[in-house]
A and B are shown apart, each in its own frame.
Chain A
Amino acid sequence: QKEVEQDPGPLSVPEGAIVSLNCTYSNSAFQYFMWYRQYSRKGPELLMYTYSSGNKEDGRFTAQVDKSSKYISLFIRDSQPSDSATYLCASGAGSYQLTFGKGTKLSVIP
């Protein structure tokens, strides 16, 4: 069983919609949870980083972690066409080896 599962989509939403992206993980040792955004044929960039359960907000983006259910979410409010990208969730246990999900491709339609 892959340690981080992510629905690959694709996901298509109209501009202004609220987007919900989700991952599940199986390794109880994971303590760090990240969301990376990757535009086509570019390197990923770190979007959100959380350490504990709960919510973390940064502008239009909210990362949510529920360690009891091993569930990671990213919410995007007022989505824009510039948000169209692939979103990768990742988890780590404090070592140098992160585990990435396969990524969800998001398209925001004007």
Chain B
Amino acid sequence: DGGITQSPKYLFRKEGQNVTLSCEQNLNHDAMYWYRQDPGQGLRLIYYSQIVNDFQKGDIAEGYSVSREKKESFPLTVTSAQKNPTAFYLCASSYQPEKLFFGSGTQLSVL
């Protein structure tokens, strides 16, 4: 089955710790994205990548980092610099910028 796989489904972070969220796609899409969703809020773009080895900051990139070494993978690291990391994180990919295919999300919480 083609799709986007995010893992883990739930993740807990201790203060001062970096954590990495995984995102893998087998849709052969060039573009991949990371969004953050807070309760009652719309999706906010953290980072996006149009092609391998290239990525751009979105609206709320501070405290996050990404890499795009393979077409299929776009991991997101939430660093200790992100002081309010509790949120639902969504990874997406697309062949056309307006038609996003989303994963099932990772809920990150702070211990």
The yes or no verdict on A and B being binding partners is yes
| Chain B 22-41 interface residues, beta-carbon cutoff 8 Å to A | 31, 33, 40-41
Quick one: given A43-B102, A43-B103, A44-B102, are A92 and B90 in contact (CB under 8 Å)?
Answer: no
- Residues of A within 8 A of B (CB-CB), count: 26
The DSSP consensus for interface residues of chain B is strand
Report which residue of A32, A43, A96 has the largest number of chain B beta carbons within 10 angstroms of its beta carbon: A43
Quick one: given A41-B107, A96-B33, are A34 and B98 in contact (CB under 8 Å)?
Answer: yes
Asked if A17 is at the interface (CB within 8 A of a chain B CB), the reply is no
Chain B residues in 8 Å Cβ range of A94: 97
Report which residue of A45, A94, A100 has the largest number of chain B beta carbons within 10 angstroms of its beta carbon: A100
CB nearest neighbor in B for A4: B42
Chain A residues in 8 Å Cβ range of B100: 36, 44, 46, 98
22 A-B pairs within 8 Å (CB atoms) are namely A4-B42, A36-B100, A42-B104, A42-B105, A43-B90, A43-B103, A46-B101, A49-B99, A88-B42, A88-B43, A90-B43, A92-B97, A92-B98, A95-B97, A97-B48, A97-B58, A98-B100, A99-B42, A100-B42, A100-B43, A101-B42, A102-B41
Given A43-B92, A96-B48, 17 more A-B residue pairs with CB atoms under 8 Å apart are A32-B98, A41-B105, A42-B104, A42-B105, A43-B4, A43-B90, A43-B104, A44-B100, A94-B97, A96-B31, A96-B33, A96-B56, A97-B45, A98-B100, A99-B42, A100-B43, A103-B42
Chain A interface (Cβ < 8 Å from any Cβ of B) = 4, 6, 8, 32, 34, 36, 41-46, 49, 88, 90, 92, 94-103
